[in-house]
Chain A
Amino acid sequence: MELKGWTYLFVGVTFALYLFIALYTRVKSTKGFYVAGQGVPAVFNGMATGADWMSAASFISMAGLISFMGYTGGMYLMGWTGGYVLLALLLAPYLRKYGKYTVPDFVGDRYYSNVARGVAIFCAIFISFTYVAGQMRGVGVVFSRFLEVDIDVGVILGMAIVFFYATLGGMKGITWTQVVQYCVLIMAFLIPAIAISLEMTGSPIPQVGFGGEVQSGPNAGRKLLEVIDSLHRDLGFAEYTAAFEGGKKSMVDVFAITLALMVGTAGLPHVIIRFYTVKTVRAARWSAFWALLFIGLLYTAAPAVAVFARVNMIETVHNADYKELPPWFSNWETAGLIVWVDKDGDGKVDYGPGAAFDGKPTFAETPDGEPARGALGQRLVTNTISSAKNELYVDRDIIVLANPEIANLPPWVVALVAAGALAAALSTAAGLLLVISSAVAHDLMKKMVRPEMTEKEELRWARGAAGCAVLVAGYLGINPPGFVAQVVAFAFGLAASSFFPLIVLGIFSTRTSKQAGIAGMLTGIVFTAGYIIYFKFISPELNVESNWLFGISPEGIGAIGMLLNFAVTMTVTRFTPPPPLEVQATVLRVREPSVETLEVAEH
């Protein structure tokens, strides 16, 4: 069967499965809609959290990102996994025990203030929309690359399916589809990773092959990482394993970005909300373990894939005659993800440091609208050619997308990758939409605007809000605002500087007062958002290390925002009256061992 046939088959079967689950998990109560009736077993919640967390970016872009960064890429690997330690130890069990359904609900209750609740609702909705736009776009891109349909059609198909299972089944539908989506995406990631590891290093375990010896070719018998370091040296790059890309990034910035990503991960509402869906505090703790184990499967394989693919790419492409390159090169050139500019006119590909040309490629066209091609058949671009010797533009997404072809795997594996990428994007989108829905229906409408409404009305609001959120997300996917890539730093920065300190202090200090909580949250948000807006939108030309505060880039500033929030909250607490006694009693109750833990442990 052809690639397209396999892709239709896999995508069709997985989508049918998601719809089937949606029909079987319809809910009639708000508890079912917001927290899946709180009956999800820990292992399955771990899988669902894995799918919820690993987005289109984790699946498609992360390995590629690392591939081009080397050691420094570790800040993403550590940042996006280390947050789970914070979640497990500082947040998840207590939030589950507190017994609310959403993060703004906890904030409003613990800080006995609707102002705090309101700010939390705003942050939750803002963070989730920021994130979801990228997911919907990802769905469209996967459709367009693998099934050759228009990106917009792909976005609409993705919207339709998420609309169906999110509005019908709420969190329950989302949870069980996420469990299936985790299985699809992890197979889709690991099968090509294992195949390419076997081929290059003879080890079926990518994490081991990563440190193993190259099997064949001119470098046979040498350690893979030594090979990549020497390839890098020969081409004029900093060594792959060398710290901080040979000084291109400072230690303090890598430290700050890692911290902002970790704390941001722990503060993201769509991740936190998953821990409300289990039955007991004990199950909340164990779900965090299962979640990180399942996430770790992908996150430890990704840096291995990054090295395999980079060595493969450099050895195949550098100094090779354009005419003799393997077919995957021209396939992805047609897709616009690789561009070769023959600067010296020798017909050979020269790869090295520096961009081949400015910005993303804009392809030249012939007068009749066909892609313009050079003497050897290469696609031409209209970008300003740079003075660097490098002739190659490589989109980082290629590392994962083209991996199966580079490793000569059968077409069904490529099709599986498409289904996996869709699963990753849809599962994350659904989790985010539920946060928006519950923030609007539960926190805004029920708790603030119309407390007298019945459960049935609230459920209608929840479904309606989920539906509207899907439409907005789809719109953002079809018309992506130019700043989507920029605002991801925003999502993590805001989560780090608002929710994380607020929740931690709310649990670990009975004394923290409402005035302190609100002051801390506002300081964190205003500082972090201000810094990012200034360097990303107002004066992007000033966004260089010498202008940064303590040498910390906008991506890492959430770490400082978080510290500021902690400092302000703790200081203001000393000068304001303590919380009402019943709030303090609730906090103390949350810290007690729960009898249910014992019951479940014994059964």
Chain B
Amino acid sequence: MSSTRKSRAAAYWKKNLLVVAGLLAVWFTVSYLLGIVFVEPLNASKLGGFPLGFWFAHQGSILVFIVLIFVYCIVMDRLDRAAIAAEQRAETQAAEPAANALHRSDASDDVRHS
């Protein structure tokens, strides 16, 4: 049992790392690539009254940073909720052989409530 618990924790951590890596890729792209490395070619295009590269350096990257943290919070809330629900399911299943049908329906009610 402890090995499956371990594998669940490892799977959760792996998902977490994927989320972080994806968001950091965006973080790097908007600030370092669009705001610095490619600023000169981007400045040839306009966004409203802004040269595009300049806009990324002075406005866009900050706005994207805020959105990135927001997305991170939402995704992690979901991941946490799913992981804990899975954990509780596993616990009730482990307790199952000893329990009768009545208990089982109680247990699944508990999961839904929490």
Contacts and interface: CB of A to CB of B under 8 A. Distances in A.
Interface of A: 66, 71, 73-75, 77-78, 81-82, 84-85, 88-90, 93, 207, 210-213, 223-226, 241-244, 251, 254-255, 258-259, 262, 282, 285-286, 288-289, 292-293, 296, 299-300, 303, 588, 591-595, 597-599, 601-602
Given A78-B31, A258-B32, A241 B59 contact: no
Interface in B1-39: 9, 12-13, 16, 20, 23-24, 27, 31-32, 35-37, 39
Contact of B69 (A241, A288, A588): A288
Given A225-B51, A288-B69, A296-B65, A593 B80 contact: yes
B26 to A, nearest CB: 9
Contacts of B37: 251, 255
Interface residues of B, number: 47
A293 to B, nearest CB: 5
B74 to A, nearest CB: 9
A588 B47 CA distance: 46
A220 to B, nearest CB: 14
Q: Is the interface of A mostly helix, strand, loop or mixed?
A: helix
B57 A71 contact: yes
Interface in B51-84: 51, 53-55, 57-59, 61-63, 65-66, 68-70, 72-73, 76-77, 79-81, 83-84
A85 B59 CA distance: 16
Given A82-B65, A243-B53, A296-B65, A282 B80 contact: yes
Given A81-B61, A88-B69, A223-B49, 6 more contacts: A78-B57, A244-B39, A251-B36, A285-B73, A593-B79, A601-B77
Contacts of B96: none
Contact of A296 (B12, B31, B51, B62): B62
Contacts of A262: 31
B66 A296 contact: yes
Contact of A213 (B20, B49, B72, B87): B49
A225 B58 CA distance: 12
A226 B76 CA distance: 43
Contacts of B80: 282, 593-594, 597-598, 601
A293 B43 CA distance: 27
B77 to A, nearest CB: 6
Contacts of B16: 591
B54 A286 contact: no
A77 B27 contact: no
Contacts of B53: 71, 243
A259 B37 CA distance: 13
Nearest to B86: A593
A251 B41 CA distance: 14
B77 A292 contact: no
Nearest to A591: B13
